[in-house]
Amino acid sequence: MARFYHIYSYREHDPVYIATLFGGLGDDSRVVMKMNNMMCDNMTYILAMIKDELAAINYSLSADEQREKPEFLTERLIQTADEMKKSEMSTGFESIESFNEWYAGKVGNENGRSW
């Protein structure tokens, strides 16, 4: 939100307004990457795939029998994203009240503010 809209404290705004702004965020924003369980942006994945393909071609053309198979970056990125996905809780809330109950229990809601 800060990068694209210069909003540093989203709690000062209406939740519907913030949700509308979230819908307009680009694919390279941290929020969208987090929601899609991506470790990095699409360009980084593409560059990793290019590097892996070049390493595979170089390995297949190598005459050295003792040479080890190259480690692929895309496999590591996907495994890390899958681990991140498994470790996180994905919860949906039916209403703002159910979210406030969950949030109050999680944080303690020191200042008595609801969402």
Same domain for 41 and 85: yes
Angle subtended by helix axes 42-61 and 73-87, to nearest 10: 140
Query: The pTM is what?
Result: 0.53
Domain count, the chain: 2
18 with 65, same domain: the answer is no
**Which of 23, 35, 25, 39 lies closest to 76, judged by CA?**
39
Cα–Cα distances (Å) from 17 to 25, 27, 102, in that order, read 13, 19, 22
Q: CB count, 10 Å around CB of 50?
A: 12
Residues 53 and 8 in one domain: no
Position with higher pLDDT, 17 vs 102: 17
Among 38-42, 60-64, 79-83, the range scoring the smallest mean pLDDT is: 79-83
- Residue 22 placed within a domain: yes
Question: Is there a single domain that holds both residue 47 and residue 71?
Answer: yes
List the end-to-end C-alpha distance of the chain, in Å, as a whole number. Answer: 17
